[in-house]
Amino acid sequence: MTEQEVLAATPVQEDTTKEDRPITVFEDPKNYNVKHPLQNTWTLWFDNPGKKASATNWSQNLKEIVDVNTVEDFWGVHNNIVKVNHLEISSNYHIFKKGVRPEWEDPVNASGGKFSIQFPRNRTGEAINDYWLNLILAMLGEQFQYEDEICGAVVSVRKVFYRVALWIKSSERNEKIETIGRQLKEFLNLNSNLTVEFTPHSDSSNKSGENRFTV
Ligand code: MGP
């Protein structure tokens, strides 16, 4: 092949402009056009501070904020909402799989329960933002071994403590639940000797402690 023939056979390098070539968020955090899908779509909910919750008005206070189904959209939302340590007392953020309302009555949650961990506000301060972020990242990144058991997570701001909770579908003590509890401590970088409490939603709604256990 002559040099001319080689040149003629070589495809012309297209003049790709920024708009039509794939740009990841790592390359250009503002003008990226490639998004990385999450395995599930997740909904962020918030509930109104200042209104005393009761089992009957609970549902009315819940506000659905936004759905995210890509890594980039998650960061867009996370970076633009009020940080947990700046929320008013009695507020909660909830992140649940799309279609599951963050309440005991939802059919997906009805037989389930939650692991919860309280952090004293005065000693925790801004670190609550990292505990919450680590929990969400583990959940959205499908890091839990029994991912299908996971319904969502809640962070609550109360007068003297913050609380993070992981809601799961079932509530009988078994290998699955114990593994999720151990992984929760691991993902939050908590000492594995610390005990985390699991409360079936039926106990929360009856205000009883009969079926609680710790991992
Ligand atoms: P909470 O905020 O989960 O508990 O629920 P906390 O922070 O310990 O508050 P405290 O007031 O119990 O000390 C607060 C109240 O909201 C509950 O007692 C219920 O009346 C109501 N509530 C909370 N949740 C998660 C639900 C729910 O899923 N369904 C219904 N019907 N009521 C709920």
Query: How remote is the CA of residue 53 from the centroid of ligand 1, in Å?
Result: 6
User: Distance, CA 93 to ligand 1 centroid (Å)?
Assistant: 13
**CATH top-level class for 37-98+109-214?**
alpha beta
DSSP count for the chain of H helices, then E strands: 7, 8
Which residue spans within the chain are E strands per DSSP? 37-47, 62-70, 92-97, 113-120, 150-157, 161-168, 197-200, 213-214
Model pTM?
A: 0.88
Q: What pLDDT is recorded for position 50?
A: 65
Beta strands across the sheet bearing 161-168 = 62-70, 37-47, 92-97, 150-157, 161-168, 113-120, 197-200, 213-214
Dihedral sign of CA atoms 26, 29, 34, 37 in order: positive
pLDDT in tens, the chain (215 residues): 454 554 444 444 444 455 678 888 778 878 888 899 999 999 999 997 666 667 778 888 899 999 999 999 999 999 999 999 999 999 999 999 999 999 999 999 999 999 999 999 999 999 999 999 999 999 999 999 999 999 999 999 999 999 999 999 999 999 999 999 999 999 999 998 899 999 999 999 998 888 999 99
What distance in angstroms lies between residue 44's CA and the mean position of ligand 1's atoms? Answer: 18
What are the extents of the domains in the chain?
A: 37-98+109-214
Q: What residues flank ligand 1, with Cβ below 6 Å?
A: 53-55, 58, 103-105, 156, 158
Distance of alpha carbon 72 from alpha carbon 159, whole angstroms:
33
In this structure, which residue's CA is closest to atom 11 in ligand 1?
Answer: 53
> Nearest residue CA, atom 25 of ligand 1?
103
**Atom of ligand 1 minimally distant from the CA of 165:** 3
Region of 160 on the Ramachandran plot (φ > 0 left; ψ -120 to 50 alpha; else beta): alpha
DSSP classification of residue 160: S
- CA torsion through residues 177, 178, 181, 187, sign: negative
